Amino acid sequence: MSLTAKNINENTKWQDLTLGLQVYEPATSRDFMTGEWRVSTPVLDMEKCKQCLLCVAYCPDSSIPVKDGKRLDFDLNHCKGCGICVEACPFEAITMKEGK
């Protein structure tokens, strides 16, 4: 049986998991709620945000949604709190707070 992110659930036996829980298929980040891992949370200050969208390009988890050419608030279900967006923002519109 070939396991994919979509068919792993609470009934999956440990013997059926891949070695080191490696994922062998692309584009599966939306299938996992990786935000549970987060120890720091990004906070957006919309007053400072100039909608340059640099943070979107740098986010390794695609956790910054864009609609109609404007960024929205963070998708915290998938954000791991790495802080790369803070470094990418030239307007200091993003800060990190400790905790979820």
* Integer-rounded Cα radius of gyration of the chain: 16
CATH number for the domain including 84?
3.30.70.20
Question: Per-residue pLDDT tens for 43-74?
Answer: 999 999 999 999 999 998 889 999 999 999 99
Angle at 33 between CA 24 and CA 92, to 5 degrees: 105
Overall domain count for the chain: 2
Q: Distances in Å between the alpha carbon of 6 and those of 22, 23, 29, 40, 92?
A: 14, 12, 11, 27, 37
Clarify whether residues 89 and 53 are in a common domain.
Answer: yes
* Tokens representing residue 71 in the block: 């960024």
Q: What is the Cα–Cα distance from 2 to 74, expressed in whole angstroms? A: 33
Clarify whether residues 42 and 89 are in a common domain.
Answer: yes
Domain that holds residue 20: 1-30
* Tokens representing residue 2 in the block: 């070939």
Q: What is the Cα–Cα distance from 89 to 30, expressed in whole angstroms? A: 24
Clarify whether residues 15 and 44 are in a common domain.
Answer: no
Higher pLDDT, 23 or 62: 62
pLDDT, position 30: 67
